[in-house]
Amino acid sequence: MANTETSLKECLSSIDGATAAALVDYTSGMALGTLGGGKDLNLEVAAAGNTDVVRSKLRTMELLGLKEEIEDILITLNSQYHLIRLLKGRGGNGLFLYLVLDAGRANLAMARHQMRRIENELEV
């Protein structure tokens, strides 16, 4: 089982094109851990903003009567992919992994596969 810091390091080291990662509590909008980002990407602001995205999608699904679970939310920009993965296992309820990828170097299918593996090893 991996802790938050180990899991975020694993995101950046094992996922091609990954430039930033965060573990976020979408009930509060607070980042429980962040890694990467730098001056061009404030992960605390990104955590709060992406919390709004997750809440909005969950609310929309409820209004539509969809009985599905969100696996991932993908936001594509000109040069980046932003991938949000809602956690389901061991204490992950109300949490998501947030990953920023360089679009020129990333493979989305592999990134999703790696995030699923990291989620399964994460213990919060």
With a cut of 80, say whether residue 90 has pLDDT above it. Answer: no
In the numeric block, the tokens 């992919």 are attached to 81
Q: Which two tokens stand for residue 92?
A: 């992950």
Q: Measured between alpha carbons, how far is residue 106 from residues 37, 73, 100 in Å?
A: 16, 16, 10
The C-alpha atoms of residue 115 and residue 50 are separated, in whole angstroms, by 17
pLDDT tens digits, 5-49: 999 999 999 999 999 999 999 999 999 999 998 888 999 999 999
User: Is residue 91 scored above 70 in pLDDT?
Assistant: no
Opening angle at CA 73, ends 70 and 76, nearest 5: 165
Tokens 């938050």 appear where?
4
Domains along the chain with CATH numbers: 4-121 (3.30.450.30)
How much is the pLDDT for 89? Answer: 66
